Amino acid sequence: MLVLGIETSCDETAVAIVEDGFKILSNEVYSQIAIHRPYGGVVPEIASRKHIEVILTVLKEALDKVNISLEEIDVIAVTQGPGLVVALLVGICIAKAIAFALKKPLVTINHLEAHLTAVFLEDKKPNFPFIGMVVSGGHTNLYLVKDFLNMKQLGQTLDDAAGEAFDKVAKLLNLPYPGGISIEKIAKEGNPNAIKFPRPSVSGYNVSFSGLKTAVANYLRRYPNTPKADVAASFQEAVVDTLIAKALKAIREFSLPRLVIAGGVAANQRLREKLFKMAEKEKIEIYFPSISLCTDNAAMVAALGYHYFKAKKIASFEFDAISRYPSFS
C-alpha cells in the first residue's frame, strides 16, 4: 500500500511516499530556514506564501523520484495540526484536492504523534508500550504510547517549548537563527558547569522553560563579559537535564524500560549523549529517529497515515486546521 504524506505545519514543505507504513520510497523536504533567518524566527504569513509557491514542485519531486503517479497512490495523509493555521491550510487544501479529484481515501494526522511514529521508519524499532517525548521548536510533550492509535499525553510545556527557549537565548547571545543549532555549536567550546542555571521544577509531567530563559537574561545583564560558549553550554545543560528528569520520572512511575525521543531538538548531540548514559545506568532501551527524521518531514505523516487507514479512520472533507489540540493530561 502506498501512502502519500503531506506536511506543512510550520516552515518545512514536505511530501513523502511510504510503502506499507514502514518503508520510505521518497521523502522530499523544502526548508525555509534561510528565508526566516533575517527575522529571527518563523513569520507565519511568509511561511504560508512559500508553501503555496513550492508545494506542487515538492509533490512532483516526491513522485518523480520513484516514478510513481498520483493515480498509483492508495491513501493521502496530511498533517491537520498542531501548527500555524495559515501554513497547515496549504497542505490540507492540496490533500483535499488530490483526494477529491482521484477519489482516494484521506486521513488526518496529529503532527506530534507523527513525530513519535518516525522511529518506526528505522531498522531498530521499539516494542509497545513505551514512553515518548516530542521536543521541538513549538512543543515539549510527554506521552504514554500503547500503540499507533493510542498515545496518551502525560504532560506538556506550560510556556516556552525547549526549541523556543533555545531560539530566545540565542537572540540574547546574538547568535543566528535557528537557535538550537547555533547554541549547540558554540556550546561545544564551553563549560557546561560554568554557570549553575536553575533546572525548572514543575509538578507532574509538565515542563516550563520561561524561568530558565529569564535566568539567562538576568545573568547576562549582571555579567555581560562572560564567554558566550560558557553561557550556551550551561543553558543547554539545564534544558537537557530538565528533559531527562521528566522522561526518567515517567519511565520509573510506569515501569516502562523503553523511551522514544523525537522532534527537532532530539537531534541535539548533548541530549543524545546524556540520554544514552542515563539509559545505560537505568538499564532501559532508548530510541531516536535518524537526524533527517527528527526535523519536520512527511514520511512520518505517511507512516502514521497507514495505520489510521488500516483502522478505518478515514476523514471527511469537512475538517479544518487545528492550531493547538486540547490537553487531557
Q: How far is CA 261 from CA 56, 140, 181, in A?
A: 31, 11, 18
How high is the pLDDT of residue 271?
97
Q: How far is CA 323 from CA 83, 118, 267, 286, 314, in A?
A: 5, 21, 24, 30, 21
Q: Domain 124-288 carries which CATH code? A: 3.30.420.40
The upper half-sphere exposure of residue 214, i.e. CA atoms within 13 Å in the direction of its Cβ, equals 7
How high is the pLDDT of residue 326?
79
CA dist 140 and 46 (Å) reads 25
Between helix 162-172 and helix 228-253 the angle, nearest 10°, is: 170
Contact between 207 and 140 under an 8 Å Cβ cutoff? The reply is: yes
Contact between 180 and 235 under an 8 Å Cβ cutoff? The reply is: no
How high is the pLDDT of residue 287?
98
User: C-alpha cell of 226?
Assistant: 562572560
Q: Which residues are annotated as a binding site?
A: 111, 115, 134-138, 167, 180, 184, 268, 296
Q: Which residues are annotated as a binding site for substrate?
A: 134-138, 167, 180, 184, 268
Q: How far is CA 208 from CA 60, 214, 265, in A?
A: 41, 12, 16
Contact between 50 and 32 under an 8 Å Cβ cutoff? The reply is: yes
Residues 6+ apart with CB under 8 A from 328: 152, 153
CA dist 144 and 153 (Å) reads 6
Closest residue by Cα to residue 121 from 311, 294, 308:
294
How high is the pLDDT of residue 329?
45
Between helix 44-65 and helix 85-102 the angle, nearest 10°, is: 40
Q: Which residues are annotated as a binding site for Fe cation?
A: 111, 115, 296
Could you give the dihedral angle defined by the CA atoms of residues 44, 239, 136 and 19, in that order, rounded to the nearest 10 degrees?
Answer: 170
What string of pLDDT tens digits covers the 329 residues of the chain? Answer: 999 999 999 999 999 999 999 999 999 999 999 999 999 899 999 999 999 999 999 999 999 999 999 999 999 999 999 999 999 999 999 999 999 999 999 999 999 999 999 999 999 999 999 999 999 988 999 999 999 999 999 999 999 889 999 999 999 999 999 999 999 999 999 999 999 999 987 889 999 999 999 999 999 999 999 999 999 999 999 999 999 999 999 999 999 999 999 999 999 999 999 999 999 999 999 999 999 999 999 999 999 999 999 999 999 999 999 999 876 44
* Identical topology for domains 2-116+293-310 and 124-288: yes
Residues 6+ apart with CB under 8 A from 176: 37, 170, 182
Q: How far is CA 72 from CA 3, 4, 12, 29, 63, in A?
A: 10, 10, 25, 21, 10
Report the length, in residues, of the chain. Answer: 329
How high is the pLDDT of residue 66?
97
Quick one: CATH architecture of 2-116+293-310?
2-Layer Sandwich (3.30)
- Domain range annotation of the chain: 2-116+293-310, 124-288
How high is the pLDDT of residue 138?
86
User: For the whole model, what pTM was predicted?
Assistant: 0.96
Which neighbouring-strand residues pair with 75?
Answer: 3
